[in-house]
C-alpha cells in the first residue's frame, strides 16, 4: 500500500503471522516465511537468533497488538457503544476477512494453541501473553462504556470464546452465517450487564 515497504525484519514477523494462522505452526517452515516476506534468507538467523520459536512468539505479539487496536477502534467510531455492538464489530471484521480470503486464514492464537498449548514449548508464554492482551483490550473497552469492572471480565471471556469458536465453525463449514448466529444469540446477555 505505502510507497516504501517495511524493513525485512518486520515483514518476516507479519508473514509468519499470516502463514501460521492459515496452516498452523508446524506446517509453516522458516523458509516459507522468508520467501513469503521476500526477505533475504540469511537475515532470518540474524534477526531471530532464537530461531523459529522467537519468530512465532513475535508473530503472536504482533497479532495481539493488531487485535487490541481493532477492539479499541470501536470506541472511536461507535455512536452509542454497547457490549453487543462491540461484539458485532469484532465479528463483522472476521466475517469480511473470511469471505474476502475464502476462509483461508483463521486466528493465530487458536492455531498456536492447538499445537503447542498442551506441552511446554517456549512459545507458550508469548501465547498466553497474546491472549491476555486481547482479553484486556476487550475488558478496557467494556469498562469504558460503563460496564462494571467485576462484570467485564466474564463478558470478555464469553465474547472471545464464542468468537473463536464461531470462526472455527465458519471455516470448517465454509459458512460465515455462524458468526451472525452467535452475534444475534449473544446480544441479549451482553447488554444485560445492569441486571
Partner DNA sequence: TACCCTTTATGACAGGCGTCATGGAAGGCG
Partner DNA sequence: CGCCTTCCATGACGCCTGTCATAAAGGGTA
d(CA 118, CA 45): 27
Q: How far apart are the first and last CA of the chain?
A: 47
CB 176 within 8 A of CB 96: no
Whole-Å CA distances, 58 to 17, 23, 53, 109, 114: 9, 17, 9, 12, 18
How many chain residues are in contact with a copy of itself, going by CB under 8 A? 52
Q: Does 148 bind DNA (CB under 7 A)?
A: no
Q: How far is the CB of 43 from a copy of itself (least distance, A)?
A: 25
Among 11, 15, 16, 28, binds DNA (CB under 7 A): 28
91 binds a copy of itself (CB under 8 A): no
Measured CA angle at 73 (ends 80, 132), to 5 deg: 110
Q: Out of a copy of itself, DNA, none, which partner does residue 3 contact, by CB within 5 to 8 A per kind?
A: none
Cell of 40: 533475504
User: Residue 6's binding partner, choosing from a copy of itself, DNA, none, with beta-carbon cut-off 5 to 8 A by kind?
Assistant: none
Distance CA 63, CA 39 (A): 20
162 binds a copy of itself (CB under 8 A): yes
160: partner contacted, choices DNA, a copy of itself, none (Cβ within 5-8 A by kind): a copy of itself
- Tell me how far, at minimum, the Cβ of 7 lies from DNA, in Å: 7
d(CA 190, CA 195): 11
User: How big, in percent rounded to 5, are the helix, strand and coil portions of the chain?
Assistant: 75, 0, 25
Selected from 3, 42, 79, 118, the binder of a copy of itself by CB under 8 A is 118
Task: Please state, in angstroms and rounded to a whole number, the distance separating the CA atoms of residues 110 and 117.
Answer: 10
Q: Which does 92 bind (CB under 5 to 8 A by kind): a copy of itself, DNA, none?
A: none
- The answer to the question of residue 172 lying near a copy of itself (CB under 8 A) is yes
Q: Does 53 interact with DNA (rule: CB under 7 A)? A: yes
Chain contacts with a copy of itself (rule: CB under 8 A)? 22-27, 103-106, 109-111, 113-119, 127-128, 131-132, 135, 153-155, 157-158, 160-166, 168-169, 171-174, 178, 181-182, 184-186, 188-189, 192
Amino acid at each position: 500500500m505505502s510507497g516504501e515497504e517495511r524493513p525485512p525484519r518486520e515483514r518476516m514477523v507479519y508473514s509468519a503471522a499470516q502463514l501460521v494462522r492459515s496452516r498452523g505452526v508446524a506446517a509453516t517452515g522458516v523458509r516459507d516465511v522468508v520467501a513469503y516476506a521476500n526477505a533475504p534468507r540469511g537475515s532470518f538467523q540474524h534477526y531471530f537468533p532464537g530461531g523459529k520459536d522467537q519468530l512465532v512468539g513475535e508473530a503472536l505479539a504482533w497479532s495481539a497488538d493488531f487485535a487490541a487496536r481493532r477492539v479499541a477502534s470501536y470506541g472511536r467510531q461507535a455512536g452509542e457503544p454497547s457490549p453487543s455492538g462491540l461484539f458485532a464489530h469484532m465479528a463483522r471484521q472476521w466475517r469480511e476477512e473470511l469471505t474476502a480470503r475464502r476462509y483461508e486464514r483463521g486466528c493465530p492464537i487458536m492455531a498456536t494453541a492447538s499445537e503447542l498449548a498442551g506441552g511446554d514449548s517456549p512459545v507458550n508464554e508469548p501465547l498466553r501473553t497474546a491472549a491476555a492482551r486481547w482479553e484486556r483490550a476487550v475488558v478496557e473497552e467494556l469498562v469504558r462504556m460503563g460496564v462494571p469492572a467485576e462484570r467485564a471480565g466474564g463478558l470478555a471471556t464469553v465474547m472471545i470464546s464464542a468468537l473463536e469458536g464461531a470462526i472455527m465453525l465458519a471455516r470448517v463449514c465454509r459458512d460465515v452465517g455462524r458468526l451472525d448466529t452467535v452475534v444475534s444469540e449473544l446480544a441479549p446477555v451482553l447488554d444485560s450487564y445492569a441486571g
